[in-house]
């Protein structure tokens, strides 16, 4: 099996153990629902928003960031760093299980991402989630992304 991905240095990301980044289209398609890959492709949506944080089976790693397309994941440095720091946040603030979105956890992870990687990458990502939600007619997704954007703008606007 071909494995595409990278190992994130524990030093750079202030972790005890390194993190893994792996491309796994199959697992993300299973997780988000059959046909999501096709839907994203025909609507030209950003597959980076399908990224998922999972525990690693290998105890040598702090966890694993599953990305749909590794090349796309690398294509924008600011967005990439925002994703990584957001996912690192999930080590401390676990994501909701299944369809239950824990918005408070998401916002806490967003705040870490802003602190470490700046605002612009995360803002772009959240706008891409809104776009995907609109295409999918998914008001829950749109509302959650808008809440996160609102929080982002309020927090950073104050300083």
Of 78 and 108, which has the nearer Cβ to Zn ion?
108
Measured from the CB atom, is 109 or 132 closer to Zn ion?
109
Contact range with Zn ion by CB under 5 A, out of 3-11, 33-41, 62-70, 102-110? 102-110
Interface with Zn ion (CB under 5 A), residue total: 2
CB of 48 to Zn ion, least distance (A): 12
Instruction: Provide the token pair at 61.
Output: 């790693």
Do 61 and 20 contact (CB within 8 A), yes or no? yes
**46 versus 106: smaller Cβ distance to Zn ion:** 106
**Minimum distance, C-beta of residue 1 to Zn ion, in the bound complex (Å):** 27
- Site track 104-133 with Zn ion (rule: CB under 5 A), x = hit: --x--x------------------------
Identity of the residue, 37 or 106, whose beta carbon is nearer to Zn ion in the bound complex: 106
Q: Shortest approach of Zn ion to residue 11 CB, angstroms?
A: 23
If the CB atoms of residues 11 and 149 are measured against Zn ion, the closer one turns out to be: 149
Three-state SS for the chain is CCCCEEEECCCCCCCCCCEEEEECHHHHHHHHCCCHHHHHHHCCCCHHHHCEEECCCCCCCCEEEEECCHHHHHCCHHHHHHHHHHHHHHHHCCCCCCCCCCHHHHHHHHHHHHHHHCCHHHHHHHHHHHHHHHHHCCHHHHHHHHHHHHHHHHHHHHC
Which residues are at the interface with Zn ion (CB under 5 A)? 106, 109
């Amino acid at each position: 099996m071909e494995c595409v991905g990278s190992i994130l240095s524990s030093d750079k990301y202030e972790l005890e153990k390194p993190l893994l980044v792996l491309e796994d289209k199959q697992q993300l398609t299973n997780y988000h629902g059959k046909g999501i890959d096709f839907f994203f492709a025909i609507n030209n949506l950003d597959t980076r928003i399908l990224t998922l944080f999972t525990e690693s089976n290998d105890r040598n790693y702090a966890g694993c960031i599953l990305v749909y397309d590794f090349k796309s994941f690398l294509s924008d440095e600011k967005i990439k760093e925002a994703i990584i720091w957001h996912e690192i946040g999930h080590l401390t603030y676990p994501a909701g299980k299944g369809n239950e979105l824990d918005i408070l956890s998401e916002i806490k992870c967003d705040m870490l991402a802003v602190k470490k990687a700046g605002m612009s990458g995360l803002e772009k990502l959240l706008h891409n989630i809104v776009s995907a939600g609109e295409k999918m007619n998914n008001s829950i997704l749109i509302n959650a992304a808008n809440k996160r954007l609102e929080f982002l703008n309020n927090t950073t606007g104050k300083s």
